[in-house]
């Protein structure tokens, strides 16, 4: 079981690396822009510190209030332009990745023998409705995971830079602030497996509902002839309530 899990993790990692290389320049541009976008909110701390140092005559850089405000306005203007560029590259990258994943899934379906039934990861036969859910949800999930990596790097830079700034201002206050934060991170990490399980169960329930809808529409006459309309609707309501 452990070996199988390691193999799955290795396959996921290889998939992410292959997708990063698919549009390498676009991924690199997106990563660079979002590194700046997510890390920029740490910069105001430096300007606020220098501003108050000027007011208390403790300035070490030889700036005045106007020079600090002018540089701050210039950086904010640049940041707005970088945000627009980052949204453009991220949109292009997201569509490219999701389109590639769905194209490959459709190509794999077309290469299969027509008489061979599709099966899910549990070995159960998959109907058309579930396949549509796979095309929609799997592509979106892979796309989201890949797009989160550049933002995660920027968040890391922001956290480290902010921590250093706070330490230089007052280390006691910094420790007082970060202890509750570490507790929150621990709680979130502890509940992560539960969240992942709920998401997996939710996707499975949604696929069952869409698959059952496809079966109902393809066998309308058979349901009517058998007089099973009420029982079919009860089953559908139960599956939808579970979803």
Check if the beta carbon of residue 46 is closer than 8 Å to that of residue 169.
no
Degrees to nearest 5, angle at CA 119 with 115 and 125? 80
CB-count burial class (<10 Å; 0-12, 13-18, 19+) for 86: buried
Task: List phi, psi (to 5°) of 63.
Answer: -90, 165
pLDDT at 1 over 60: no
pLDDT score for 107: 84
Average pLDDT over residues 211-218: 80
Assign 103 a pLDDT band (cuts: 50, 70, 90).
Answer: confident
Strand, coil or helix: 119: strand
Provide φ and ψ at 184, rounded to 5°: -65, -45
Mapped onto helix, strand or coil, the DSSP state of residue 125 is strand
User: Which DSSP helix (H) or strand (E) runs through 143?
Assistant: helix 128-169
pTM: 0.60
- Ranges of H-type helices in 23-127: 24-39, 43-55, 65-111
Question: Whole-angstrom Cα distance, residue 29 to residue 234?
Answer: 52
When mean pLDDT is compared across 97-106, 124-133, 233-242, the lowest value belongs to 124-133
Ranking 8-12, 116-120, 150-154, 170-174 by mean pLDDT, the lowest is: 116-120
Q: Is residue 236 pLDDT above 60, yes or no?
A: yes
Q: What share of the chain is helix, strand, coil (3-state, %, to 5)?
A: 85, 0, 10
CA distance 150 to 28: 9
> Which pLDDT score, from 0 to 100, does residue 198 have?
84
DSSP strands (E only) in the chain: none
């Amino acid at each position: 079981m452990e070996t199988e899990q390691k193999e799955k993790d290795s396959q996921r990692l290889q998939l992410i690396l292959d997708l990063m290389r698919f549009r390498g320049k676009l991924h690199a541009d997106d990563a660079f822009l979002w590194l700046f976008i997510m890390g920029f909110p740490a910069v105001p701390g430096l300007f606020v510190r220098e501003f108050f140092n000027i007011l208390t005559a403790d300035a070490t850089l030889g700036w005045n209030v106007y020079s600090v405000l002018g540089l701050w306005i210039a950086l904010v203007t640049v940041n707005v332009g970088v945000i627009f560029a980052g949204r453009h590259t991220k949109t292009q990258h997201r569509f490219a990745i999701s389109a590639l994943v769905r194209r490959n899934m459709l190509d794999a379906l077309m290469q299969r023998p027509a008489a061979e039934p599709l099966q899910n990861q549990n070995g159960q036969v998959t109907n058309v409705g579930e396949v549509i859910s796979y095309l929609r949800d799997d592509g979106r999930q892979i796309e989201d995971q890949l797009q989160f990596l550049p933002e995660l790097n920027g968040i890391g830079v922001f956290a480290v830079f902010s921590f250093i700034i706070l330490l230089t201002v007052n280390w006691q206050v910094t420790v007082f602030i970060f202890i509750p934060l570490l507790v929150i991170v621990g709680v979130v990490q502890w509940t992560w497996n539960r969240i992942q399980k709920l998401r997996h169960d939710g996707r499975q329930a949604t696929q069952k509902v869409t698959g059952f809808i496809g079966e109902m529409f393809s066998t309308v006459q058979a349901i009517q002839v058998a007089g099973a309309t009420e029982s079919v609707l009860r089953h559908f309501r139960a599956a939808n309530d579970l979803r």
